[in-house]
Amino acid sequence: IETESSAEVLAMLEGLHPTDIAEIMDKLTMDEAKYLYLQLDGEMASDVLLEIPENMRRRFLRVLPPEVIAHQFVEHMDSDDAADIMGELEEEVVEAVLSEIDDKEQAGDIADLLEYDEDTAGGLMAKELVKVNENWSVQTCLKEISSQSEEIDEIYYVYVVDNDNILKGVLSLSKLIQKPTHSKVKELSNEDIQSVRTDTSQEEVAQIMEKYDLVVLPVVDQIGRLKGRITIDDVVDVIREETGKDYQMVSGITGDVESTDNVWRLTRVRIPWLLIGTAGGLTGAQVLSSHQDTLNHIPAMAFFIPLIAATAGNVGVQSSSIVVQTLAAGTRKFDTLGKKLLKELGVGLITGLFFALLIFGYNYLFSDSYKLTLTVSCTLFIVIVFASMFGTLIPLVLHRFKVDPAVATGPFITTMNDVLGLLLYMGVAHFFFNFLG
Amino acid sequence: IETESSAEVLAMLEGLHPTDIAEIMDKLTMDEAKYLYLQLDGEMASDVLLEIPENMRRRFLRVLPPEVIAHQFVEHMDSDDAADIMGELEEEVVEAVLSEIDDKEQAGDIADLLEYDEDTAGGLMAKELVKVNENWSVQTCLKEISSQSEEIDEIYYVYVVDNDNILKGVLSLSKLIQKPTHSKVKELSNEDIQSVRTDTSQEEVAQIMEKYDLVVLPVVDQIGRLKGRITIDDVVDVIREETGKDYQMVSGITGDVESTDNVWRLTRVRIPWLLIGTAGGLTGAQVLSSHQDTLNHIPAMAFFIPLIAATAGNVGVQSSSIVVQTLAAGTRKFDTLGKKLLKELGVGLITGLFFALLIFGYNYLFSDSYKLTLTVSCTLFIVIVFASMFGTLIPLVLHRFKVDPAVATGPFITTMNDVLGLLLYMGVAHFFFNFLG
């Protein structure tokens, strides 16, 4: 790349989508990327800036003076994207950039957006929208839309407000152009409209947009004044993030990583859950050593420790995952706590019986200790029933106490059930060998 | 509900969104729901039909004659929704319904859509779109859009085609109304347009729409003729489904369940992976019984079996999940196989060393067998390194052979690493106690 002239590079990049350019830059060294980047014009440069990875963007922005950031990038961006980028900068830089922006209205919009919590509707929304007064005629409306839409890339809906900026309804552009020009906006607007408040959580925004198949959702303040709008592409990111979080929890990873991250980061996100697992393993060791006599008496008992522990862990993870996923889907059609536990008891009993009989059959054929066979089968049955009950109950309890139930999946449940399984194993063995023995 | 008059019920339901009505119906008995449903008019009834759960819809449709299905529901639906519903019916019913539809064009559209594989762009797309010829003027265009859009709820874009229906570009409605009426469509249309082919997989469609932040994506055939369009709300379902699938795999569940499903279904999706876990547990028992002498010689070794097995499993799941999630994100910025394994080796070495030292310290304080302490620490180190390498390698190998790499997460990796961990434990013990002993 270094040897090519800038004209050639530009010719090469022309016609490429900003996302593709960002991908190319990600493969280059920092210097090459910088060189490439400087060839792009304002509009394209700001689009590409939004698509490059966060750490690269930080390094880019750190070396640039506020006036360049303001004129080169921020002025070409929509308010929501600008606010996201500014949120990554330090406070004094933000102030400097805001004061450099020539369009004071845009600067004001960005400053407003920076006030909202990142995880709320206010943090997701953009200020750019087209709105018309309910008392206007179609003709005034079309003229106004033309002038308002100059700065906006795409219009999906036109919002209808009253004199106090209270959201009243929505007009679809396609309906508008089919109507005679003297009709009133009020008569054409659809007043049956979904909206959220600025402090609605992003999870709830995602659920509403998914449930009603919406592409854009207006955001209002406490008294119903139109403040902005959220488009579905930002919500897709929320959904990805949200499901990704649950996936990480169940696999025992803390924090968002990709296999392309560096070794240190990849290690750091894995240690915490492994520590919990280790604590569980050591507790298991304690349980076993305090039942040393039983183990010394029947050494073959040790053979089935992995089976008991693994089954307990697997059953627990399954139960908790089903609960967590149902909670995450946010459906209101939800069984009562009692019914859920009763059903899980049913599942546990059937599964437990199935595996107890399976192992009983296996050991009946291959083991010569009748008591051990009984012990292992009985333990397996009890462990499966308990593990499934715990797996269901714990996420529900956490959810009730407003803790993310997903923390109770994966290694946490596995570890807890491992220890529980060992305790039960030793208890059952004690019963069969000492009392029946 | 039964006691209320139908007028009251209707008044109650008026103003509710179809999704909300579907939710209410889901809470009623079948008879109540049927009664409620019959109060709704055609448009609303078909919207509600799309939102009720699949098994309820099946039962509804089974009792209705084809002509009612055709006139009451299908004629009020968009082609993609109609095709989805028809895909759930039996073939002879589909034919009967299609022949009952009065609008032959709509019947033809649905029949076309039924041809495509459900998991491809063809299966996701709808036929309803607004297209204009590139040679028309803005005025002809607006007139044509008005007439075409009567049957379409929302227009986001107007597609531009040539005389052979080959997709040429896109017009945004907001741009259109700002231009003088004599301009040619060709001059206004944006020719830099993303499209997919009918046989593109739904995963790829989702990736493209996410990557480029698209709301609608046109679908073309092999030679570029415009066939339909996909909207983002259908893709959100694909994304949910896809991430849901990976989540199920890692938690050891086969098939899409919610905690509201019945006990039998909840049990059935859990047995398969538990069987694999049990097979692993029994293999573990075999490994241990074939090293019976070592265990008899040092009974305290049994105490650490759960620790070794759990750590091996946890590390394996972490490694495989990171790989699977990176593969699922579909980013092209992907390390080479060698680099990835080298990094994972680094992670394994650091993590292994950390936990080996931790356990060494613990055992040094609380255990009196120096050899056992050494054995457990060394095993832990080796097991962590191996488990992380396997966890990374296996999903990658599966991916190369076009098998969904997600099957190699959760119980599969846990089980494999459990057995591997036990083998290593016995091997290391053999070494320390026999050769150094």
- Asked whether A82 and A110 are in contact (CB, 8 A), the reply is yes
State which of B48-57, B172-181, B205-214, B374-383 shows the largest mean pLDDT.
Answer: B374-383
Residue B124 lies in a domain: no
Tell me the pLDDT band of A155, cut-offs 50, 70 and 90. Answer: low
Residues A407 and A282 in one domain: yes
Averaged pLDDT of chain B: 82
Of B332, B328, B80, nearest to B198 by C-alpha is B80
> A-chain residues within 8 Å CB-CB of B358?
278
Averaged pLDDT of chain A: 82
Which of A27, A145, A251 has the CB atom closest to B321's CB atom?
A: A251
List pLDDT tens digits, range B239-250: 877 777 788 887
Of A285, A297, A357, A309, nearest to B285 by C-alpha is A309
Of B281, B356, B341, nearest to B311 by C-alpha is B356
CB contact under 8 A, A326 and B210: no
Distance from C-alpha of A422 to C-alpha of A352, rounded to nearest angstrom? 16
Give CA separation, B225 vs B144, B214, B221, in Å: 20, 20, 5
Distance from C-alpha of A196 to C-alpha of A213, rounded to nearest angstrom? 15
Residues B29 and B145 in one domain: no
| Element spanning A246, H or E | helix A232-250
Which of A231, A251, A266 has the CB atom closest to B409's CB atom?
A: A251
Say if residue B1's pLDDT is above 50: no
List pLDDT tens digits, range B267-294: 888 888 888 888 888 888 888 888 888 8
Tell me the pLDDT band of A248, cut-offs 50, 70 and 90. Answer: confident
Ranges assigned E (strand) in A25-153: 131-133
What is the layout of strands, in order, in the sheet containing B216-220?
B196-197, B216-220, B226-231
List pLDDT tens digits, range A74-105: 888 888 888 888 888 888 888 888 888 888 88
Q: If contacts are CB pairs under 8 Å, which of residues 145-184 in chain B contact chain A? A: 145-146, 149-150, 152, 154-156, 172-174, 177-178
Q: B200 CB near a chain A CB, below 8 Å?
A: no
b (16+ CB within 10 A) / e for B273-297: bbebbbebbbbbbebbbebeebbee
List pLDDT tens digits, range A355-398: 999 999 988 888 778 888 889 999 999 999 999 998 888 888 88
Residues A298 and A231 in one domain: no
Give the other-Cβ count within 10 Å of B190's Cβ: 12
Of B394, B383, B274, B250, nearest to B325 by C-alpha is B250
CATH number, domain containing residue B33:
1.25.60.10
Residue B399 lies in a domain: yes
- Asked whether A141 and A153 are in contact (CB, 8 A), the reply is no
Say if residue B46's pLDDT is above 90: no
- Asked whether B395 and B320 are in contact (CB, 8 A), the reply is yes
Residues B38 and B106 in one domain: yes
Say if residue A190's pLDDT is above 90: no
Residue A313 lies in a domain: yes
**Burial class of residue A362, CB neighbours in 10 A (0-12, 13-18, 19+):** middle
Amino acid in the structure at residue B11: A
Residue A67 lies in a domain: yes
Which of A248, A295, A343 has the CB atom closest to B266's CB atom?
A: A343
Cα B375 to its chain centre, rounded Å, is 44
Say if residue B180's pLDDT is above 80: no
> A-chain residues within 8 Å CB-CB of B322?
251, 253, 257-259, 266
Residue carrying structure tokens 């080479």: B336
Percent of the residues in chain A that have a pLDDT greater than 90, as a whole number: 9
Domain boundary among B75, B96, B118: B118
Distance from C-alpha of A289 to C-alpha of B304, rounded to nearest angstrom? 10
Residue A244 lies in a domain: no
Residue B245 lies in a domain: no
Residues B400 and B355 in one domain: yes
Looking at residue A382, what is its pLDDT? 94
Distance from CA of B159 to the nearest CA of A (A): 14
Question: pLDDT higher for A49 or B421?
Answer: B421
Classify residue A291 by its DSSP letter: T
Residues B286 and B205 in one domain: no
List pLDDT tens digits, range B195-214: 999 999 888 898 888 888 78
Classify residue A406 by its DSSP letter: G
Complex ipTM tops 0.90: no
Which of A215, A358, A418 has the CB atom closest to B278's CB atom?
A: A358
Among A303, A340, A380, A413, most B C-beta atoms within 10 A, so best to mutate, is A303
Tell me the pLDDT band of B127, cut-offs 50, 70 and 90. Answer: confident
Domain boundary among A222, A239, A256: A239
| Element spanning A421, H or E | helix A411-430
Average pLDDT over residues B158-167: 88
Query: Given its phi and psi angles, is residue B410 left (phi above 0), alpha (psi -120 to 50 degrees) or beta?
Result: left
Instruction: Give the chain A residue whose CA is nearest to the CA of B285.
Output: A303
Amino acid in the structure at residue B44: M
Q: SS3 for A88?
A: coil
Distance from CA of A260 to the nearest CA of B (A): 6
- Asked whether A159 and A226 are in contact (CB, 8 A), the reply is yes
Residues B303 and B341 in one domain: yes
CATH number, domain containing residue A339:
1.10.357.20
Residues in chain A: 437
CATH number, domain containing residue A164:
3.10.580.10
CB contact under 8 A, A263 and B343: yes
Q: SS3 for A218?
A: strand
Say if residue A267's pLDDT is above 90: no
- Asked whether A308 and A376 are in contact (CB, 8 A), the reply is yes
Among A251, A293, A353, A363, most B C-beta atoms within 10 A, so best to mutate, is A251
- Asked whether B303 and B429 are in contact (CB, 8 A), the reply is no
Residues A110 and A136 in one domain: no
Say if residue B11's pLDDT is above 80: no
Residues B56 and B79 in one domain: yes
Looking at residue B90, what is its pLDDT? 81
CB contact under 8 A, B281 and A306: yes
Q: Which two tokens stand for residue A10?
A: 């530009």
Looking at residue A1, what is its pLDDT? 46
List pLDDT tens digits, range A117-138: 888 898 888 888 888 888 888 8
Average pLDDT over residues A181-205: 84
Distance from C-alpha of B167 to C-alpha of B194, rounded to nearest angstrom? 10
Question: pLDDT higher for B215 or A330?
Answer: B215
Residue B258 lies in a domain: no
Looking at residue A118, what is its pLDDT? 81
Q: B140 CB near a chain A CB, below 8 Å?
A: no
Distance from C-alpha of B212 to C-alpha of B204, rounded to nearest angstrom? 12
Residues B114 and B136 in one domain: no
Say if residue A331's pLDDT is above 70: no
List pLDDT tens digits, range A393-422: 888 888 888 777 777 777 788 888 889 999
Q: Which two tokens stand for residue B21?
A: 């009505």
Residue A82 lies in a domain: yes
> B-chain residues within 8 Å CB-CB of A296?
299
Number of folded domains in chain B? 3
Distance from CA of B45 to the nearest CA of A (A): 16
Question: pLDDT higher for A325 or B220?
Answer: B220
Looking at residue A218, what is its pLDDT? 92
Distance from C-alpha of B428 to C-alpha of B378, rounded to nearest angstrom? 7
CB contact under 8 A, A306 and B302: no
Say if residue B232's pLDDT is above 70: yes
Q: With the C-alpha atoms ordered A173, A178, A183, A186, is the resulting torsion angle positive or negative?
A: negative
CB contact under 8 A, A309 and B310: yes
Residues A113 and A138 in one domain: no
Distance from C-alpha of B55 to C-alpha of A105, rounded to nearest angstrom? 53
Residues B102 and B179 in one domain: no
Distance from C-alpha of A110 to C-alpha of A106, rounded to nearest angstrom? 6
Q: Which two tokens stand for residue A329?
A: 């889907």
Distance from C-alpha of B233 to C-alpha of B226, rounded to nearest angstrom? 20
Question: pLDDT higher for B336 or A7?
Answer: B336
Looking at residue A157, what is its pLDDT? 77
Q: B144 CB near a chain A CB, below 8 Å?
A: no
- What is the Cα Rg of chain A in Å? 30
User: Which domain covers residue A52, as residue numbers?
Assistant: 6-119
Distance from C-alpha of B130 to C-alpha of B160, rounded to nearest angstrom? 9
Give the other-Cβ count within 10 Å of B73's Cβ: 24
- SS3 for chain B is CCCCCHHHHHHHHCCCCHHHHHHHHHHCCHHHHHHHHHCCCHHHHHHHHHHCCHHHHHHHHHHCCHHHHHHHHHHHCCHHHHHHHHHCCCHHHHHHHHHHCCCHHHHHHHHHHHHCCCCEHHHHCECCCCEEECCCEHHHHHHHHHHHHHHCCCCCEEEEECCCCEEEEEEEHHHHCCCCCCCEHHHHCECCCCCEECCCEHHHHHHHHHHCCCCEEEEECCCCEEEEEEEHHHHHHHHHHHHHHHHHHHCCCCCCCCCCCCHHHHHHCCHHHHHHHHHHHHHHHHHHHHCHHHHHHCHHHHHHHHHHHHHHHHHHHHHHHHHHHHHHHCCCCCCCHHHHHHHHHHHHHHHHHHHHHHHHHHHHHHCCCHHHHHHHHHHHHHHHHHHHHHHHHHHHHHHHCCCCHHHHCCHHHHHHHHHHHHHHHHHHHHHHHHHCC
Distance from C-alpha of A148 to C-alpha of A161, rounded to nearest angstrom? 15
**Burial class of residue B344, CB neighbours in 10 A (0-12, 13-18, 19+):** buried
CB contact under 8 A, A154 and B146: no
Q: B364 CB near a chain A CB, below 8 Å?
A: no
Give CA separation, A425 vs A284, A389, A415, A433, B46, in Å: 11, 17, 15, 12, 56
Q: If contacts are CB pairs under 8 Å, which of residues 62-101 in chain A contact chain B? A: none
Domain boundary among A94, A119, A144: A119
**Residues 6 or more apart whose Cβ sits within 8 Å of residue A47:** A18, A76
Among A25, A155, A247, most B C-beta atoms within 10 A, so best to mutate, is A247
Looking at residue A385, what is its pLDDT? 93
Looking at residue B267, what is its pLDDT? 85
Q: What residues form DSSP beta bridges with B158?
A: B171
